[in-house]
Amino acid sequence: MSALSRLLWIAWRVRSRLARQIRRTMFSGIATLDRTATLLETARVVNLAGSKAQVQVGAGTVVAGELLVFAHGGRITIGDWCYVGEGTRIWSAQSVTIGHRVLVSHGVNIHDCDSHPRDAAERHRHFRDLCESGHPRTLDSVANAAVVIEDDVWIGFNAIVLKGVRIGARSIIAAGSIVTRDVPADGIYIGKALAGRL
């Protein structure tokens, strides 16, 4: 390796480390991050609840997507050595718990709530409140239920995981699937149904 190539490589490494430290500092007031967790340039943490205990990211985990906790409640806990892909959105009004060594591909949506009321008039009032005064601190009319994703799960790109779902350890969720019910450990879920076991 030439001296110039080596110098450019060192400069790139220093820039990358500095960028990671800047992102860590930016998010340290709104999330609890293990010192070995990495937030990539595309990562976004939105903590409308305001307490950094509401968003926790474990050791060795890499986040390229968005983590959002609503003002009226919610908690996101991600274990060790996980990956959250670019364009993925994990939104919580109650609780999203992700175990260890979970791979969440790009473009995945994981939501523990409906985000808006089902009643049309109430939904309109909710929208107006959002526009006029920001996210409300209380919102009882939005359905929510905890999401639990156990250890060693792999969720393929563009999959959707909805409220109240538990995905068992070592399961695989195929790309583009919509998960609306529990998946047992070692399950293979394709489309909208359990397709088999590992």
* Residues with catalytic roles: 116
Dist. CA 190–CA 195, nearest whole Å: 6
Beta bridge partners of 110: 90, 161
Which residue in 137, 135, 148, 146 sits closest to 183, CA to CA?
A: 148
Give the three-state DSSP class for 169.
coil
Beta carbons within 10 angstroms of residue 124's beta carbon: 12
Encoded amino acid at 106, one letter: H
Between strands 187-190 and 193-197, the pairing is: antiparallel
Is the separation of the CB atoms in 151 and 103 below 8 Å? no
Contact 68, 48 (CB under 8 A): yes
